Amino acid sequence: MRRNLPRRWACLILGGALLMPYMMVGVLISGLVRGRPADLLLPLEVGVFGAMLPVVAATGLFLPVRALELNAAQGLLGARVETPPRQAGRSWQERRRTAAWFTLHLGVGGVVSGCTLAIVPFTMFTLALPFTGGTRMLGMDVAPGRPAVSWALAGLALLAALVVLAAGAGELLARLAPVLLGPTPSERLAAAEERARTLAERNRLARELHDSVGHALSVVTLQAAAAGKVLDRDPGTARTALAAIEHSARAALEDLDHVLGVLRHGEEPRRGAAQERDHREKARGSSPDSAAYEEAPDGETPGRKAPDGETPDGETPDVDASPRVPQPGRRAPQATLADLGALVDASGAEVHQDVGDLSGVPAMVSREAYRILQEALTNAIRHGRGPVRLTAAVEDGELRLEVANDGRHGSATRTGGRGVAGMRERVRLLRGDLQAGPTDAGWQVTARLPLRSDA
């Protein structure tokens, strides 16, 4: 308290200074009503003081004084007041709290300021009495000697009482500041809802980033291994695999840029680079997908389609030379089940598809199902071996998904478990069921998603 006393006293003096215009107007009006001149230099009338407090409260009710008072409470009183969130408008609950605080600050500050202005000069005068000789105090003659010393001690006692008054008033304001200037219950609720929305959006972006980038890295790993095996025997197939690597890496990079832009700016980032590239490609009469396979600067054509032919000895998976996987940088996270064929082609794995009519699947379910299948396919590539079986069909008002292959028992591959957790979150949001993990037959992911919510 001793350390904060000077600043708290200054805060009380500030309240008295803010009260002075109200008091001067009150004294002026009082003088006009009474028909006598008003003393504007010393407006210390108790009646005027009481009459001006409702005006002070009205000021706090309608004028934006909360920010000023909050800074004073935090900087001068040393109160730990939580800064309220910014809102478009002021609620009446916040207005009433601000008006109560503003009235309390100016009222208490006015009393302490008035006492300070009266007691400090009085104490200094009484302390000089033993040295200046006899004089007249409050209508009484003060003789030199012991009477003058008595007045000096009385002045010191009043000064000590003033210090106690200022300390108590400052402590009172410091305790009430968090209650009256802090966030109201409605503001706390709004802030909690905003934090929940932000957290949900960040979790969604994290899932999107994990699914897209994780899948792209799995494809890159698979295609790189395939290219290394056939580089000497079949340069064309190796060149095709390298083109798929380039395409997958570019898609993952654009998706990463998309997510980082949202996290940095809190809004959908501008995709100027992608749009500019599309504009240049359209001007040349080429499609966006063909841009990834143009000739390299050194004259080579690593992205052109290799001649048709089977992979020697079955050592490498069948690779599509121009996979049309959705471009996350431009359309993510809008990929749907309509892009499932491109996703499978770009994976580089041998996938046996059994896909029914999915045209009746709602857009939201279709987007989430695409991400679930993308993560399931990634897990099958990482944890399994042999051909992958992919099933997607609508049965009895539900979308049923299944991805399975033979498992690598005892594999040392570690994924951190985030992919399965992300799939479970998506399925839970859609009120479906998910089973994922190793089985007796291998690795399997099975999901059931209702097409319509019962809520």
Burial of 300 (C-beta count, 10 Å sphere; 0-12/13-18/19+): exposed
Helix pair 185-230, 92-132: axis angle to 10 deg = 110
In this prediction, residue 143 carries a pLDDT of: 72
Do 427 and 372 contact (CB within 8 A), yes or no? yes
In this prediction, residue 198 carries a pLDDT of: 79
In this prediction, residue 194 carries a pLDDT of: 84
Distance of CA 56 to the CA centre of its chain: 37
- Say how far apart CA 422 and CA 213 lie, in whole Å: 14
- Say how far apart CA 345 and CA 381 lie, in whole Å: 13
- What are the pLDDT digits (tens) for 84-137? 888 778 889 999 999 999 999 999 999 999 999 999 999 998 888 888 766 777
Average pLDDT over residues 286-310: 38
Reduced DSSP (H G I as helix, E B as strand, rest coil) percent helix, strand, coil of the chain, to 5: 60, 10, 30
| pLDDT bucket at 284, cuts 50 / 70 / 90 | very low
SS3 call for 166: helix
In this prediction, residue 264 carries a pLDDT of: 66
Which span out of 108-122, 220-234, 250-264 was modeled with the highest average pLDDT?
108-122
Q: Is the pLDDT of residue 190 over 80?
A: yes
Q: Count Cβ atoms below 10 Å from residue 322 Cβ, excluding itself.
A: 19
Q: Count Cβ atoms below 10 Å from residue 85 Cβ, excluding itself.
A: 13
List the structure tokens of 377. Answer: 């396919």
Average pLDDT over residues 187-193: 86
Tell me what the pLDDT averaged over the chain comes to: 77
Print the SS3 string covering 60-123. HHHCCCHHHHHHHHHHHHCCCCCCCCCCCCCCHHHHHHHHHHHHHHHHHHHHHHHHHHHHHHHH
- Say how far apart CA 361 and CA 368 lie, in whole Å: 11
In this prediction, residue 74 carries a pLDDT of: 92
List the structure tokens of 136. Answer: 């007249």
In this prediction, residue 83 carries a pLDDT of: 86
In this prediction, residue 121 carries a pLDDT of: 92
Place of tokens 């898609």: 251
In this prediction, residue 433 carries a pLDDT of: 92
Q: Between residues 338 and 241, which one has the greater pLDDT?
A: 338
What is the H or E stretch that residue 213 is in?
A: helix 185-230
| pLDDT bucket at 186, cuts 50 / 70 / 90 | confident
Instruction: Report the relative pairing of strands 351-355 and 384-395 from DSSP bridges.
Output: parallel
- What are the pLDDT digits (tens) for 44-90? 578 888 899 999 999 999 999 999 999 999 999 999 998 888 877 88
Which span out of 87-91, 199-203, 351-355 was modeled with the highest average pLDDT?
351-355
- Say how far apart CA 11 and CA 6 lie, in whole Å: 9
- What are the pLDDT digits (tens) for 262-277? 666 654 433 444 444 4
Q: Between residues 6 and 312, which one has the greater pLDDT?
A: 6
The DSSP symbol for 2 reads: T
Q: What residues contact residue 215 under an 8 Å CB cut-off, 6+ apart? A: 343, 347, 374, 375, 377, 378
- Say how far apart CA 140 and CA 155 lie, in whole Å: 16
Do 431 and 453 contact (CB within 8 A), yes or no? yes
Sequence letter at residue 444: Q
